Amino acid sequence: MSAKIGIIGAGNMGKGLTLLFAMRGFPVTLYTRDLAKEPAIREAISGNIKLLSENEVISAETAEAIPARISFTDSYEVIAAQADLIIENVVEDLGIKRALFAELDRLAKPDVILSSNTSAISITEIGQDCVNHRERVIGTHFWNPPYLVPLVEVIETPYSSPDAIARATQIMEEAKKVPVLCHKDVPGFVANRLQHALQREALNIVARGIASPEDVDKSIKYGFGMRLGICPPLEVVDMGGTDLTLSIHEYLFPDLYNEPEPVPILKEMVARGDLGFKSGKGVRAWTEDEIRASRENLTKGLIAVLRALDRL
């Protein structure tokens, strides 16, 4: 395993990706603007290493080896010189990302892959100022926490070379990720289009008074949501029959929310300052204990599901 990984941005996803690749044996260089934050960043990563070790996701030997695989820099020149694959995780601002990629394109050798972990912004637009080697600019969209959620979307632009896509996909597989290839650089790529279509109708059901937020979530959590990780939507279509699916869609679709704007109730919540966990209230109210329990339940639940489905 020879690929060297560069991570730019030391927020939650940057730290998570650093842990992901280091725990899989890759040498990782993490860029942060302030090297004085290295001890705090290492402490945060160590906390997740401890959690993974305690839950037997990784061995004690692996846990002990991870920190030595991680180095820090506050220099784009250093990360461009050291990495074979650079993954950007900076703020979701097109101007900032474009400027960063243009700088990396100037600094990095032609065969260094430049990728963005954006969940929303066009990869093509992010790389449009890369005048030297635009063909090595791709998207690699991970899901949080990346060291537990297997999926990574590998996104092509009209300029991406088959070699860059193939090498990035190979690195993801070596890191024990499950890459899916998004052939068109469309908003939301693949998984977010699916996720937000579900959220839109869930909010519509609440707004119309069809069911409470709690019961909407229960209907997914204890119903078809349990099945999704084993029998996904298109397999369900074939299992039930395309004729049955067509019949249901013809009857159901006219009653679903299909406006091009977000469901009004969501705009109303944001206008009131009901921002979810950030404010203690969103679609429903949350206490500090409930917020903490939700975050812990996500991590422990993911580990349990991965173990049950033999995907660790």
The model's confidence at residue 312, banded by pLDDT at 50, 70 and 90, is: confident
Instruction: Retrieve residue 179's tokens.
Output: 């890459």
Write down the pLDDT at residue 2. 76
Q: For 14-56, write each residue's pLDDT tens digit.
A: 999 999 999 999 999 999 999 999 999 999 999 999 999 999 9
Q: For 241-262, write each residue's pLDDT tens digit.
A: 999 999 999 999 999 999 999 9
Q: For 68-109, write each residue's pLDDT tens digit.
A: 999 999 999 999 999 999 999 999 999 999 999 999 999 999
Q: For 193-235, write each residue's pLDDT tens digit.
A: 999 999 999 999 999 999 999 999 999 999 999 999 999 999 9
Name beta bridge partners: 137. Answer: 114
Write down the pLDDT at residue 147. 97
The whole-angstrom separation of Cα 26 and Cα 174 is 9
Q: For 257-308, write each residue's pLDDT tens digit.
A: 999 999 999 999 999 999 999 999 999 999 999 999 999 999 999 999 999 9
Pairing of strands 151-155, 137-142: antiparallel
What is the end-to-end Cα distance of the chain in Å, rounded?
Answer: 20
Asked whether 60 and 102 are in contact (CB, 8 A), the reply is no
The whole-angstrom separation of Cα 172 and Cα 242 is 34
Hey, how many other C-beta atoms are within 10 angstroms of the C-beta on 153? 21
- With a pLDDT cut of 70, the percent of the chain lying above it is 100
User: With respect to CATH, is domain 5-182 assigned 3.40.50.880?
Assistant: no
Q: Is the pLDDT score of 1 beyond 70?
A: no
The whole-angstrom separation of Cα 132 and Cα 103 is 11
Q: For 156-174, write each residue's pLDDT tens digit.
A: 999 999 999 999 999 999 9
Asked whether 274 and 282 are in contact (CB, 8 A), the reply is yes
Asked whether 84 and 112 are in contact (CB, 8 A), the reply is yes
How would you write 134-197 as a 3-class SS string?
HHHEEEEEECCCCCCCCEEEEECCCCCCHHHHHHHHHHHHHCCCEEEEECCCCCCCCHHHHHHH
Whether omega before 187 lies within 30 degrees of 0, making that bond cis, reads: no
Residue with tokens 């899916």: 180
Q: For 118-139, write each residue's pLDDT tens digit.
A: 998 999 999 999 999 999 999 9
Q: How far is CA 155 from CA 8, 17, 83, 206, in A?
A: 18, 17, 20, 34
Residue 231 DSSP SS3:
coil
The whole-angstrom separation of Cα 184 and Cα 199 is 23
Q: For 263-277, write each residue's pLDDT tens digit.
A: 999 999 999 999 999
The whole-angstrom separation of Cα 179 and Cα 173 is 7
Write down the pLDDT at residue 163. 98
Q: Is the pLDDT score of 112 beyond 90?
A: yes
Report the predicted TM-score, pTM, of the whole model to 2 decimal places.
Answer: 0.94
Q: For 144-156, write each residue's pLDDT tens digit.
A: 999 999 999 999 9
Pairing of strands 70-73, 151-155: unpaired
What is the phi/psi pair of residue 163, to 5°? -65, -45
How crowded is the C-beta side of 126, counted as CA atoms within 13 Å? 34
